[in-house]
């Protein structure tokens, strides 16, 4: 998946020598969680909207140098890692920097999620199956083999939970015989955590989308 086309350049970048006046205005007029700061054009870090109550217009960004968050992605960062970076830092915007630490622009969470939802994993008809097994026992090649041995198509798979040496994997499968696929996984000592119909999947997706929209509007 190519997400580089989603880089936006309409969000400002502030120099560390500037005052906080325009930063305060930026956060008051947008819903973004962070904004980037540079020093002589080189990426330095991020001011957080959470610190807005502490900002005073006449103060310099320099006064908050040691409070800056320091996370970013590059054009080469894979889209799943981009989503992880959003999640890990509770951010809805990410600076994209080049090899010289110059800012190319930003990724907006809403744009990246829209690209993700537009993938075959979400758009193609299929059934969701969630399985679990020991973290040392699972194999994506084995999972694909189990699915395909039942004349089904594996449309997507990713790890959605990992705790106490147990890994949980969510699969999207194109098949009319999900019961046979589930039974085969059981024979291979996988636990079936969840399996549902298209209607249930769409309802679950709607609930997640509603949560995301609520988060973006905070």
144-186 pLDDT, tens per residue?
Answer: 999 999 999 998 888 888 888 999 998 999 887 888 898 999 9
Model pLDDT, residue 197: 44
Structural domain includes residue 216: no
CATH number for 136: 3.30.70.260
Domain count, the chain: 2
| Confidence category of residue 217, pLDDT binned at 50, 70, 90 | low
pLDDT at 187 over 80: yes
What is the pLDDT at residue 198?
A: 43
3-class secondary structure per residue, the chain: CCCHHHCECCCCEEECCCECHHHHHHHHHCCCCEEEEEECCEEEEEEEHHHHHHCCCCCEHHHHHHHCECCCEECCCCHHHHHHHHHHCCCCEEEEECCCCEEEEEEEHHHHHHHHHCCHHHHCCCEEEEEEEECCCCCHHHHHHHHHCCCCEEEEEEEEEEECCEEEEEEEEECCCHHHHHHHHHHCCCEEEEECCHHHHHHHHHHHHHHHHHHHCC
Residues 135 and 60 in one domain: no
Are 175 and 89 part of one and the same domain?
Answer: no
Same domain, residue pair 93 and 183: no
What per-residue confidence (pLDDT) applies to 193? Answer: 87
Q: Which has the higher per-residue pLDDT, 40 or 164?
A: 40
Structure tokens given for 42: 């080189």
pLDDT at 211 over 70: no
Q: Report yes or no on 207 lying in a domain.
A: no
217 occurs within a structural domain: no
pLDDT tens readout for residues 56-77: 999 999 999 999 999 999 999 9
Question: Which of 133, 130, 139 shows the shortest CA–CA distance to 181?
Answer: 130
Task: Show the domain range for 193.
Answer: 120-199
Whether residues 11 and 83 fall in one domain:
yes
**What CATH number is given to the structural domain containing 51?**
3.10.580.10
Q: Are residues 9 and 102 in the same domain?
A: yes
So what's the pLDDT on residue 158?
83
How far is residue 27's CA from residue 29's CA, in Å, rounded to a whole number? Answer: 5
Task: Say if residue 10 is in the same domain as residue 110.
Answer: yes
Do 187 and 152 belong together in one domain? yes
């Amino acid at each position: 998946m190519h997400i580089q086309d989603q880089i936006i350049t309409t969000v400002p970048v502030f120099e560390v020598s500037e005052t906080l006046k325009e930063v305060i205005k930026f956060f008051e007029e947008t819903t973004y969680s962070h904004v980037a700061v540079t020093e002589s054009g080189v990426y330095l870090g991020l001011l957080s909207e959470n610190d807005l109550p502490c900002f005073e217009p006449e103060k310099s960004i320099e006064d908050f140098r040691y409070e800056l968050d320091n996370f970013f992605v590059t054009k080469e960062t894979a889209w799943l890692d981009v989503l992880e970076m959003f999640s890990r830092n509770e951010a809805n915007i990410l600076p994209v920097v080049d090899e010289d630490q110059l800012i190319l622009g930003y990724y907006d969470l809403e744009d990246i999620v829209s690209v993700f939802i537009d993938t075959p994993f979400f758009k193609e008809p299929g059934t969701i199956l969630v399985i679990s097994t020991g973290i040392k026992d699972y194999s994506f090649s084995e999972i694909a083999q189990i699915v395909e041995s039942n004349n089904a198509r594996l449309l997507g798979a990713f790890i959605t939970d990992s705790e106490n040496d147990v890994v949980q994997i969510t699969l999207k499968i194109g098949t009319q015989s999900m019961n046979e696929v589930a039974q085969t996984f059981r024979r291979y000592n996988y636990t079936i955590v969840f399996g549902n119909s298209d209607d249930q999947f769409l309802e679950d997706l709607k609930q997640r989308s509603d949560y995301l929209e609520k988060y973006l509007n905070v």
